[in-house]
Amino acid sequence: MIDRADMLELTRRMTLTRTCFSRVAGAYMTDGGEIDETFNTAFLSLDNGEKTRQLALAKTVPFAKTNEQLVERRFPESGKGANSMWSLLMRILACGLKNDLLMEALYEQIGIFYESDGPYGINISTGSYDVPMKSTDGGYLYESEVVYDFMVCAVSPLKGSYEPGKPEYGFLFPAFSYRSGDRDAIDVFNRDPDHPQTMLTEMLLGER
């Protein structure tokens, strides 16, 4: 089960003044799931308008209704082999989104399994959060004992030319659990949990 307080704590680091993001990357996909255009840049190099847009897309995932729209899924051991999606996500996390070949491999896999009625965008942000210690009364201390390195992906229909709408699907990897990263799990977002992107989630978990 996902702790709502953990997710809210993380979203508080997704603002212009307190951003924890270092880089953003993504792709604009055709309705057939093929890559049209890609981008990859340092977060701080964006103007404030673009930063605000990227933050809004990323924040949608952890801010979603926990354990309804946002659900923790664990990777089976069979889904963590050398050529698995888990391995690809780990390599992307390690390079901080800077390897375009790895990024394109992820976009291509999403393109194969994402069910879409039209063109869509894939937006991925990565960052680090120095998780502060909590005192016995629940207050935050300045000291940090855990650094949570993560990436958040949002998949959105395009409203116009390269203009993403509200995210319909996404994920947070590694899962943020007990105020720490759990690399054996991923938090998966479906805007409509009654009609989830089942095939894409199964692909991520190595079940397909």
Give the model confidence (pLDDT) of 62-82 as tens digits: 999 999 999 999 999 999 998
Which of 47-56, 135-144, 158-167 comes out lowest in average pLDDT?
135-144
> How far, CA to CA in Å, does 83 sit from each of 31, 170, 198?
27, 22, 21
Determine, yes or no, domain membership for 9: yes
pTM of the model: 0.93
Question: Angle formed by the axes of helices 48-63 and 4-11, to 10°?
Answer: 180
Q: What is the total count of domains within the chain?
A: 1
Determine, yes or no, domain membership for 90: yes
Q: Identify the pLDDT of residue 145.
A: 73
Determine, yes or no, domain membership for 34: no
Q: Which two tokens stand for residue 107?
A: 């976009």
Q: Which residue has the higher pLDDT, 152 or 161?
A: 152
Determine, yes or no, domain membership for 24: no
Domain of residue 70 covers 4-15+42-204
Determine, yes or no, domain membership for 143: yes
DSSP-derived letter for residue 114 is: -
Length, in residues, of the chain: 208
Determine, yes or no, domain membership for 103: yes
| Closest to 169 in 3D by CA, of 110, 127, 87 | 110
Q: Are 167 and 61 in contact (CB under 8 A)?
A: yes
Determine, yes or no, domain membership for 144: yes
Give the model confidence (pLDDT) of 79-128 as tens digits: 999 899 999 999 999 999 999 999 999 999 999 999 999 999 999 999 99
Determine, yes or no, domain membership for 173: yes
Q: Identify the pLDDT of residue 144.
A: 65
Across 159-172, average pLDDT: 94
Q: Identify the pLDDT of residue 208.
A: 82
